[in-house]
Amino acid sequence: MVANAMNEKVQTGVKKTLAADKDWWRGAVIYQIYPRSFQDSNGDGIGDIAGIVHRLPYIASLGVDAIWVSPFFTSPMKDFGYDISNYRDIDPMFGTLDDFDLMIETAHKFGIRVMIDLVLSHTSDQHPWFQESKLDRTNPKADWYVWAEAKPDGTPPNNWLSIFGGSAWQWSVHREQYYLHNFLTCQPDLNFHNMDVQDALLDVTRFWLDRGVDGCRLDTINFYIADKELRDNPALPPEKRNSKIAPSVNVYNHQEHLYSKNQPENLEFLHRFRKVLDEYPAAAAVGEVGDAQYGLDILGQYTEKDKYVHMCYAFELLAKDKVTASDLPEIFAKVDEVAKDGWACWAYSNHDVARHKTRWDMTDDEYRLYSILLMCLPGSACLYQGEELGLEEADVAFEDLQDPYGIEFWPAYKGRDGCRTPIVWEDSFNANGGFSVGQPWLPIDPSHFAKSVAEEEKRENSMLNHYRRAIALRRDYPVLRKGRHDPLKNKGNVVYFTREHEGQKLFCAFNLSAAPAEFDMPEGKWKNIGEQVGSLAFTGQPKQTLGPWQSCLALETDTKRN
């Protein structure tokens, strides 16, 4: 079987070194791990770093290039690790620095790079920096966070809103001032206008790079710097509102966040950040651009040439509505316009959005096709744990919710717990699916047991093995990783494009519908390279017919044309 053969190859062919390829990130497939829900090693019901180490052979069997590990730093866990109280240590629930070092060492032996999730825009209110800053207005860290006077009537300094609901300002009785928090009230925003703050965060970055990490995922990369004058955000007309970043019931969508984020000074910090990364032979960074109106424009700015971060992702493929054959040409035309010298990274699912199998109401055939599409699109790709199993969004009852976002907006918005439930490794309800011998921190959806890793390994044509084949296709053809592309086009429900790299030319077409669809093959001689993922076995005729949810992946064989 494919799976067993791959696992045997991984176990017997462990790499002892990891080449310092500074461009490894171009076209890379990055596997996101949400550590709380990946594998528990000590029976407390919470996943940990030792659990990740235990499952690295499985990750290697997928064929991915890197893992991105969501926050594991010391934290009160009010926002499950995105509220950091110590940037330089591991929260005890996840393990120790020794465990972390072992994860790095083991991942590198398997040829897997490790990216960590750096949350630089804010800290926990339990961080020693904030504990000192809030004492008074004259202490050494008094200006390390965004503090402001109340208006004469005692109301907040301006109209800025928090993503988690309500004002983005919280009153402090210690200083008799407000502090800014774009997220929870316990997540005060750092003041990047203070160079000492920037220096401290760059030192944190060096700390982890020195431990051997290969790069960073930068949380909310466009939130770092707020307008120094604290000007009010303008209202956003109803017709321009969308729910890419915040659910539709959130009043956050009523503003154009012109001054609370996306400030031009952010580029100056990112340039400094890039210089730190460049001190290391092959470090790379991917930024999360959280903006509903200007996400792609910011992606282009932040990845320009070699000045800032290596790649960014916006929310176009993480949106609530399914991306269609007509959407893709528009999205990539915009990327080509604003990011000529930049690089995009794409994902359908992550820890903040409902799993796309449910979000887009997909059949298995549809889901499989979109996975091939992701492996063929220009840019790099992120997969979220469990995506390779075809997991649906879990149904989490209100009394079991952990996510403060879901608790705040229930029932109109159920929060993020449904995509964060533990991975099921075995089809054993009593043993919590092999995730933990203890009670899991979130309940496991019973429907997930039939899609456990053990069950998926048994079937040659399982979703898991399909993902392995799709990733292998990308790995085997460098043109899919680093190749340039012509403009994406669509004919009805068929989207198509070509990729070219070092003399190879590849034609890709995808029927994003449940009905057969005709398309025209370009001139030339072609051979099918996608048999293993169900690609069309085409004839030599110019007109071809794709079946429902089928792809055509064809490599040009006429070398005279290359």
Residue 31 and residue 68: Cα distance in Å, rounded? Answer: 6
- Among residues 279, 400, 476, 558, the one annotated as catalytic is 279
Residue partners of 522: CB distance under 8 A and separation at least 6: 498, 507
Calculate the alpha carbon distances from 209 to 12, 118, 421, 557 in Å: 29, 12, 30, 44
Distances 23 to 154, 215, 336, 343 between C-alpha atoms, Å = 52, 12, 20, 12
Instruction: Centre a 10 Å sphere on the Cβ of residue 436 and count the other Cβ atoms it contains.
Output: 24
pLDDT of residue 58: 98
Query: Are 377 and 385 within 8 A, CB to CB?
Result: no
Task: Note whether 466 and 382 are same-domain residues.
Answer: yes
- Same domain (yes/no): 320, 339: yes
Q: Which of 406, 418, 412, 478 is nearest to 444 (CA)?
A: 418
One-letter-per-residue 3-state SS of 384-402: ECCHHHCCCCCCCCHHHCC
Are residues 504 and 458 part of one domain?
A: no
Residues 493 and 455 in one domain: no
- Count of CB atoms situated within 10 Å of the CB of 100: 25
Q: How far is CA 242 from the centre of its chain?
A: 20
Tell me, what's the pLDDT at 244?
86
Is residue 458 a contact partner of residue 427, using CB atoms and an 8 Å limit?
A: no
Phi and psi at residue 519, in whole multiples of 5°?
Answer: -150, 165
Q: How many CB atoms lie within 10 A of CB 12?
A: 7
8: phi then psi, degrees, rounded to nearest 5: -65, -40
Q: Which two tokens stand for residue 80?
A: 């499950």
Measured over the CA atoms of residue 364, residue 366, residue 369 and residue 370, the dihedral's sign is negative
The DSSP bridge pattern shows strands 215-218 and 311-313 to be: unpaired
Q: Give domain status of residue 427, yes or no.
A: no
Is the pLDDT reported for residue 562 higher than 60? no
Q: Quick one: 466 and 556 in the same domain?
A: no
Amino acid residing at 257 = H
**How do the residues of the chain divide into helix, strand and coil, expressed in percent and rounded to 5?**
30, 15, 50
Q: How confident is the model at residue 373 (pLDDT cuts 50, 70, 90)?
A: very high
Among 424, 456, 478, residue at a domain's last position: 478
Q: Cis before residue 140, ω within 30 degrees of 0? A: no
219 is catalytic: yes
Identity (one letter) of the amino acid at 165?
G
- Residues 6 or more apart in contact with residue 41 via CB below 8 angstroms: 48, 50, 51, 54
Catalytic position from the list 48, 65, 79, 219: 219
Q: Kindly tell me if the per-residue pLDDT of 9 is higher than 50.
A: no
**Smallest Cα–Cα separation from 218: which of 308, 287, 300, 268?**
287
Query: Is 428 within a domain?
Result: no
How does pLDDT run across 496-511, given as a tens digit for each residue? 999 999 999 999 999 9
Task: Judge whether 205 and 270 are in contact, CB under 8 Å.
Answer: no
pLDDT at 8 > cutoff 90: no
Mean pLDDT score, 49-60: 98
Q: Is residue 129 part of a domain?
A: no
CATH number at residue 368: 3.20.20.80
Q: Specify if 148 maps to a domain.
A: no
Which range of residues forms the domain containing residue 503?
482-561
pLDDT the model gives residue 15:
39
- Answer whether residue 189 is part of any domain: no
Length of the chain: 562
d(CA 457, CA 384): 19
Q: How many domains does the chain have?
A: 2
Statement: residue 13 has pLDDT above 70: no
Q: How many Å apart are CA 276 and CA 284, to the nearest integer?
A: 10
* Same domain, residue pair 538 and 469: no
Mean pLDDT of the region 336-352: 97
For residue 433, tell me if it sits in a domain: no
Could you report the per-residue pLDDT of 116-144, keeping only the tens digit for each?
999 999 999 999 999 999 999 999 999 99
pLDDT of 409-453, one tens digit each? 999 999 999 999 999 999 886 779 999 999 999 999 999 999 999
Residue 11 has pLDDT above 70, yes or no: no
Q: Do residues 96 and 226 both lie within one domain?
A: yes
Q: Residues 6 or more apart from 534 whose CB is under 8 A from it? A: 368, 550, 551
DSSP string, 92-156: TTT--HHHHHHHHHHHHHTT-EEEEEE--SB--TTSHHHHHHTT-SSSTTTTSB-EEPPPTTS--
Q: Is the pLDDT of residue 537 over 80?
A: yes
Question: What does pLDDT average to over the chain?
Answer: 94
Angstrom distance (rounded) from CA 528 to CA 508: 10
Cα atoms in the Cβ-side hemisphere of radius 13 Å centred on 543: 3
Looking at the structure, do residues 511 and 555 belong to the same domain, yes or no? yes
Shared domain for 458 and 547, answered yes or no, is no
Are 139 and 133 in contact by the 8 Å Cβ rule? The answer is: yes
CA–CA distances in Å: residue 127 to residues 193, 289, 298, 409, 510: 19, 25, 30, 27, 49
Does 177 reside within a domain? no
* Residue 167 DSSP code: B
Same domain as 456, residue 356 = yes
Sheet holding 169-172, edge to edge: 147-148, 177-180, 169-172
Q: In which residue are the tokens 């890197």 written?
A: 66
What number is the average pLDDT over the span 153-168? Answer: 97
Please check whether residue 27 lies inside any domain of the structure. yes
Q: Do residues 453 and 510 share a domain? A: no
256 catalytic? Reply is: no
Q: Looking at the structure, do residues 56 and 68 belong to the same domain, yes or no?
A: yes
Query: Can you tell me the distance from the alpha carbon of 38 to that of 51, in angstroms, rounded to the nearest whole number?
Result: 7
Tell me the two tokens of residue 78: 């009010």
Contact predicate 181/189, CB 8 Å: yes
Are 258 and 229 contacting, i.e. CB atoms less than 8 angstroms apart? no
Domain harbouring 539, CATH code:
2.60.40.1180
232-242 average pLDDT score: 94
Give the pLDDT confidence score for residue 559 in this predicted structure: 56
Return d(Cα 493, Cα 326) in angstroms, integer.
7
